[in-house]
Structure 1
Amino acid sequence: MNINGLQAELQAMKLEAGNTSRPATGQQVSADFGALLGDAIKSVNGLQAQSSELATRFDQGDRSVSLSDVMIARNKSSVAFEATVQVRNKMVEAYKELMNMPV
């Protein structure tokens, strides 16, 4: 994972959030969150596909792929997947908590 790229993306999101001149509507926030979540899932899927492709190439004897490349890609995809599962679990907890609130 590229930490500098992630930091730059977070800073850009911070600036974008600060530059809003009018409050966002519920539909706009929902659409933005949905797009952000979709992009994150696509990113995790891409990491898993890259890991699988490197492992296949290594198994087939491609000398341009080393075992360390395969292991690093596999660990990246594993960490990304675990983080996604944790975010999903937190979202489900928050949803259940909201549903159990008295009106």
Structure 2
Amino acid sequence: MGRTGRPVASRRRRPLPCLHLPRGAGPRPCPDLCRSRRRRPLPGVIGTIMALEAVKWIAGAGTPLRGRLLLYDGLEAEARTLTLEPRPGCPVCGGRGA
């Protein structure tokens, strides 16, 4: 994992949106950070966001990420959310949902 992360929340009751991103759709990894053998904080940040999603689901509080993809860029300290739908022509999910 380089400088970006994508926490995902899902429940299998309904078809999930397609999470397959075409090449080049997301931020490009930072080669210097990817080559570093030092522990990086990004997995902890993404894990914390995923734990928060689990707490929200259990408590029935807030708006879960279901049907949305959170893109977090640790290098720039930016986050954005994409709304996702099943895509009929997707080579991964074939429109069934991931």
- Report the TM-score range of the alignment, normalised by the length of the smaller protein: 0.3 to 0.5
**Structure with more relative contact order (C-alpha pairs < 8 Å, separation 6 or more):** 2
TM-score by length of 1: 0.31
More strand by share: 2
TM-score by length of 2: 0.33
More helix by share: 1
